[in-house]
Structure 1
Amino acid sequence: MTVSAPLKRRFLLVGSVVLLVLLFLFVLLRTGPLAPVQVTVAEVRSGRFTPELFGIGTLEARRHWMLGPTSPGRVLTVKADVGDQVRAGQLLAEMDPVDLDQRLQALDASIARASSAQAAAAAQQADVQARRELAAANLRRNQELARQNFISLSALEARSQELASAEAALQSARATAQAAAQDALRAKAERAALQQQRANAKLFAPADAVVSAREAEPGSTVVAGQAVLRLIDPASLWARVRLDQGRSAGLVPGLPARLLLRSRPHEPVPARVARVEWLSDSVTEERIAQLSLDQTPPGLSVGEMLEASIELPAIADSLLLPAASLQRQGGATGVWRLQGGRLAFAPVQVGATSLDGQVQILAGLESGDRVVVYSQQPLSADSRIKVVDQLVRPAGAARTGP
């Protein structure tokens, strides 16, 4: 029996519609919203773990000096410029002494006058001492004559009065000599103080150093304590680094570190933790550590920004996972664990992290568990997944990791 042409067209139309529906369902289940989400997985493994701390800091000089006058004045000369290498004791700058030299001359004259007064007082004391001895001898002779009744009592009393006057004069001469000595001592002390003030007008290098800044020029007026020159010891450069408080457990002096300077980002500089400050920054929640350089590369500049990586003590046996597998669900930190081809969110307790993307798992997983690292879309417990080796993420897709 032959089929009519209208019936053939109907069969062909129905077949085309069924084929299109099947093709649509296939596309919908494979690449559409109902398609399984492609994920990459990782296996929880046990191994040696070396956590690291990362921080940002600046290059500073551990030993530096600010040279300036101890009293206000005008800068007379500056003999050093920025970048100059100076030696200990080298004259670097001088302040205008104004009238200090004339005042020193006046004090020299005062000291000479005090010395003359001291010599005069000593001569006067010697003269009074001689008269007192004479009065004492006369009194002794008159006392002997009075016992033999050769002189009257009034004459004896006159000799006693002469001795008392001589003793009073001797005490006065001694006091005058002491006053002259004190005047000379005071003048010498004033001259020593003024001489020290005159010496402070000259600024000398306290140690071998490099001039890092020139703050004043000749003719400038500066106040007491204001810096004219700043010096640094180039051999004392170290890094002042700020680190996250939450990850700083185990940070102690002596730990090895690496520095990446802004001027040489591809040349790591070996360093070591020299000091951990007791005072942390409560606003930024950071700890501050100083890192000493094993070797100081040439051409460094104080204040240069840097990145620091500090190796914390290694942990012998730990469960490790890629940090990208962690995410938060319902306020808890955990991972999507594969159980029989299905997903289950497993809360975990994490420990330290390393700079290569590994995180320490303290609780919640066991060695050998498989967890999702990346996914094309956000996951849920009902999500259908497809494990792939490498994730090709379309535009707008998300990943599970942070």
Structure 2
Amino acid sequence: MNRRVVRAVGLAVLGLVLLTGFVLLMVRSGPLAPVRVTTAVLERGAFENAVFGIGTVEAERAYAIGPTSPGRILAVHVDVGSEVRAGQLLAEMDPVELDARLAASRAASARAVHALASAGAQVRDAEVRQELAARNARRYASLGERAFFSDAAVEAKRQEADSAGAQLQAARAQLDAARMDLQRLDAERVAVERQRANVRLAAPVAGVVTARDAEPGTTLVAGQSVLRMVDLASVRVRTRIDQGRSGGVRAGQAASIVLRSRPGFAVAGKVSRVELNGDAVTEERIVQVVFDELPKDFAFGELAEVTIATSRGADVLAVPGAAVHEQDGRRGVWTVADGATAFVPVRTGEASLDGRTVVLEGLQAGDRIIVHSERELRAGERVAVVESLEGMRR
């Protein structure tokens, strides 16, 4: 009988221990356990927002240097990577017969100058002859009225005066023709000189040579390039920014540029222009970013990571982006008061790249909010604040 009592008591104690353990398990780790959460206390402080984009290093002003007429390359004086000054001779085309044509044109212009001088002398001679003939005609006419000369003699002198006037007109016409001929020959000479100058390919601006497309001896057609160069003052990063985050980007804002060839090394820059045209397919907007100081080791077409600082604030209330939730169509955060949860609707502003979101209304400095939780929360639910959710129960 005693054995039965002892056995019954032992089973009862064992059952009580198991029940207690089960209850503790349910309270601590089961459905009745408080939800483990991480929290943060809100504080006002500095807030800096930025947008991020990927761009390529390009030059806004690039030049293809080549002949304006077909020809053969005589010499190329620069190579890829050469820095050149404005007006510097880069390459030369074979002038072929242009030198001979230029010499002939200059000789023809010189001859026209002499012809013009000769025509001018003939005009002056004709003017003197016409003036003399006119005086003789007037004198003979006056004396003829007094019967000193016959009518035939008077008429002969009048005809001499008319002939001298016609010769003067002819001389003046020849002078005008000589003047126009000189203008024509000068224009032809200038045209040949320009053609001769075009075979000397010079740099339009100061810059750097980026490509050498042809070598001496190569025959080119008009418009085909011998060299390509860029204006270093126009180097910039053509950056693509998500249209949803580009609203705050303005010209003059500071930017940080990390070239693909130099990871981890940021180069300072600024926004020079926000393009009016965007990309409807990728939903991106084009932003031109220039370097404050052009780096020495870069490549055109190189990818770059660009971060543009769009706004700054010294007294801003911001919460981690993970703390903001949608509840019944309202945007808000979960707060902790006396160990229980409460959902507080808030009005938010912009979000930064580091994951913080500005709170405009609904919270105050000193409020404790829930950042992460091990499962979805409900109002009035008990929570247990922990440092981290790593190793949470499964």
| TM-score calculated relative to the size of structure 2 | 0.84
Cross-structure match for 1:322: 320
1:389 & 1:212 partners in 2: Cα distance?
A: 56
Contact map agreement 1:46 1:317 (CA 8 A) in 2 = yes
Contact map agreement 1:39 1:388 (CA 8 A) in 2 = yes
Secondary structure at 1:391 match in 2:
coil
Q: 2:164 aligns with which of 135, 153, 166?
A: 166
Residue 160 of structure 1 and its aligned partner are, at CA, apart by 1.5
Residue 146 of structure 1 and its aligned partner are, at CA, apart by 0.4
CA shift in 2, pair 1:379/1:103, >3 Å: farther
Q: 1:277 aligns with which of 274, 278, 295?
A: 274
CA shift in 2, pair 1:151/1:255, >3 Å: same
Cross-structure match for 1:309: 307
Secondary structure at 2:276 match in 1:
coil
Contact map agreement 1:104 1:195 (CA 8 A) in 2 = yes
Matches within 5 A, 1:203-242: 203-234=201-232, 237-242=235-240
Cross-structure match for 2:186: 188
> Please, which moves more after superposition, 276-285 or 17-26?
17-26
Contact map agreement 2:54 2:240 (CA 8 A) in 1 = yes
Residue 255 of structure 1 and its aligned partner are, at CA, apart by 3.8
Q: Deviations over 1:306-326 (max 9, x none)?
A: 223333453232212112222
Cross-structure match for 2:35: 37
Cross-structure match for 2:109: 111
2:262 & 2:178 partners in 1: Cα distance?
A: 72
Cross-structure match for 2:350: 352
Contact map agreement 2:251 2:274 (CA 8 A) in 1 = no
Cross-structure match for 2:257: 259
Cross-structure match for 1:288: 287
Residue type of the alignment partner of 2:214: A
Residue type of the alignment partner of 2:133: A
2:330 & 2:278 partners in 1: Cα distance?
A: 28
Residue 51 of structure 1 and its aligned partner are, at CA, apart by 2.5
Residue 10 of structure 1 and its aligned partner are, at CA, apart by 7.1
CA shift in 2, pair 1:282/1:233, >3 Å: closer
Residue type of the alignment partner of 2:291: S
Contact map agreement 2:53 2:305 (CA 8 A) in 1 = yes
Cross-structure match for 1:67: 65
> Please, which moves more after superposition, 347-356 or 168-177?
347-356
> Please, which moves more after superposition, 11-20 or 67-76?
11-20
Contact map agreement 2:325 2:333 (CA 8 A) in 1 = yes
Residue type of the alignment partner of 1:85: E
Confirm or deny that 1:298 pairs with 2:296. yes
Confirm or deny that 1:132 pairs with 2:130. yes
Residue 18 of structure 1 and its aligned partner are, at CA, apart by 6.3
Residue 14 of structure 1 and its aligned partner are, at CA, apart by 7.0
Residue type of the alignment partner of 2:76: V
Q: 1:90 aligns with which of 85, 88, 91?
A: 88
Cross-structure match for 1:178: 176
1:133 & 1:274 partners in 2: Cα distance?
A: 80
Q: Deviations over 1:54-97 (max 9, x none)?
A: 33323344665432333444433322111123344332112233
1:100 & 1:150 partners in 2: Cα distance?
A: 70
1:64 & 1:253 partners in 2: Cα distance?
A: 23
Confirm or deny that 1:363 pairs with 2:361. yes
Residue 194 of structure 1 and its aligned partner are, at CA, apart by 1.9
CA shift in 2, pair 1:341/1:71, >3 Å: farther
Contact map agreement 2:53 2:241 (CA 8 A) in 1 = yes
Cross-structure match for 1:2: 2
Contact map agreement 1:376 1:393 (CA 8 A) in 2 = no
Gaps of 5+ in 1: 398-402
> How many residue pairs align between the two structures?
392
Residue 193 of structure 1 and its aligned partner are, at CA, apart by 1.8
Residue 140 of structure 1 and its aligned partner are, at CA, apart by 2.4
Residue 26 of structure 1 and its aligned partner are, at CA, apart by 4.2
> Please, which moves more after superposition, 227-236 or 359-368?
227-236
CA shift in 2, pair 1:75/1:382, >3 Å: farther
Residue 182 of structure 1 and its aligned partner are, at CA, apart by 0.6
Contact map agreement 1:248 1:287 (CA 8 A) in 2 = no
1:238 & 1:191 partners in 2: Cα distance?
A: 43
> Please, which moves more after superposition, 13-22 or 131-140?
13-22
Q: What RMSD in Å do the two structures reach over aligned CA positions?
A: 3.2
Secondary structure at 2:36 match in 1:
strand
Secondary structure at 1:279 match in 2:
strand
Gaps of 5+ in 2: none
Q: Deviations over 1:174-198 (max 9, x none)?
A: 0111111111111111111221122
Contact map agreement 2:249 2:274 (CA 8 A) in 1 = no
